[in-house]
Amino acid sequence: MTEAAHRGEPAISFQGVTRLYPQKGGAGDVVALDDIWLDVPQGAITGIIGRSGAGKSTLLRLVNGLERPSSGKVIVHGRDVAPAEGAELRAIRREVGMIFQHFNLLSSRTVFDNIALPLEIAGAPSAQIRPRVSELIDLVGLTAQANRYPAELSGGQKQRVGIARALATNPRVLLSDEATSALDPDTTRQVLELLQNINRELGLTILLITHEMAVVRDIGTHVAVIEGGRIVEAGETYAVFSRPQHPTTRSFLTGVTGVAVPGFIAGRMTPAPQGEGAQAVLQITFIGDHATDPMLSRLAVDRGIETNILAGAIEEIGPNPFGSLIVSLPGPRAAEAQAFLNRHGMMTEVLGYVG
């Protein structure tokens, strides 16, 4: 373990970063990033998730100096990328590998030669290139395809070449720019497993951007949600998934778990009970060891409160189970039900009331 890792210093630190783009005609600046503060832990897989135009690609490109901040600092393993030029910038970029959405392979080069390209550019001697490339081809499972050209490869194989190429110079940080968005679900799963294995075996810090919360759920140890150029929520993936605070995070999670109030209920909901027979719509989050506990049965037996399940799902975030249910129950007993469930490790929220 490095001295920096022992001290717990982040691999990447965005410190008050703002990125402005001037508009034509002097109409003012477009704010792409607005006062970003974010630490990416060493050895973590951190996902930056946001909608199109939220600023996530700009944030990623700051790490290897393809973009420069208008203000603030981008620290990569103790070095500020923003003012770096020449040899210093080249040294930083050798420590930062990048995987692209559309592979960016050279069609005239074989798998072997595409992976060798960064080493050739860096001036590595051929005696070092061949064993290094062979090692990487084996790592990504493409030994049989070493002499094939990109046109002869599937999308998943092309992305494996891209991953191997990004690892060629032994980087300490790996950036992933929507690396799985052009792949089918099975291939996406295989590529994510490969990235997870690389993170575990090589100890690389991986920073990936995506608009798919499922990608973060499957391999991310940490997550940051970006909206309108600002980080609206960040933390360990399990903590953010189980206790989302911002509406944007909640909307992404709904897409992952499919847990949402059914439309025929949502259209009738009111923020306060209307009449004595009103039913409370309650969201219950089951986390950790309690994710599979029969708490609704206990609620009915111990407190005599019956519930009607409207929607639900159980997911796995890393090694941890995570479940969510939306139920309806008698409005006058909602507070009592919440108190009971909260005492047993559940998290609850009244979403509204229906007649």
**DSSP result, 79-135:** EESTT--HHHHHHHHHTEEEE-TT----TTS-HHHHHHHHHHHTT--HHHHHHHHHH
pLDDT at 138 over 60: yes
- Residue 255: the pLDDT is 64
In percent, the amount of the chain with pLDDT more than 70 equals 94
Q: Which range among 146-150, 284-288, 341-345 shows the weakest confidence by mean pLDDT?
A: 284-288
Q: Report pLDDT digits (tens) over 23-59.
A: 877 778 899 999 999 999 999 999 999 988 899 999 9
- Residue 6: the pLDDT is 38
Q: Report pLDDT digits (tens) over 58-112.
A: 999 999 999 999 999 999 999 999 999 999 998 899 899 999 888 889 999 999 9
The closest alpha carbon to 187, from 225, 163, 159, belongs to: 159
- Residue 258: the pLDDT is 61
DSSP string, 137-178: HHHTT-GGGTT--GGGS-HHHHHHHHHHHHHTT--SEEEEES
Query: Can you tell me the distance from the alpha carbon of 73 to that of 75, in angstroms, rounded to the nearest whole number?
Result: 6
- Residue 222: the pLDDT is 95
Average pLDDT, the chain: 89
- Residue 289: the pLDDT is 64
- Encode 258-306 in three state secondary structure: CCCCCHHHHCCCECCCCCCCCEEEEEEEEEHHHCCCCHHHHHHHHHCCC
Where does the pLDDT of residue 310 fall: very low under 50, low under 70, confident under 90, or very high at 90 and above? very high
Q: Report pLDDT digits (tens) over 225-243.
A: 999 999 999 999 988 887 8
Average pLDDT, integer, range 324-341 = 93
Average pLDDT, integer, range 3-20 = 79
Average pLDDT, integer, range 150-169 = 95
Q: pTM of the full predicted structure? A: 0.81
Yes or no: say if 145 and 111 are a contact pair by the CB < 8 Å rule. yes
pLDDT at 154 over 90: yes
- Residue 290: the pLDDT is 62
**Amino acid found at 3:** E
In the chain, the domains with their CATH numbers are 3-95+171-254 (3.40.50.300), 261-354 (3.30.70.260)
Beta partners for 47?
208, 223
Using CA atoms, how far residue 291 sits from 208, 214, 255, 323, in Å, is 28, 19, 20, 6
The count of residues in the chain is: 355
pLDDT at 316 over 90: no
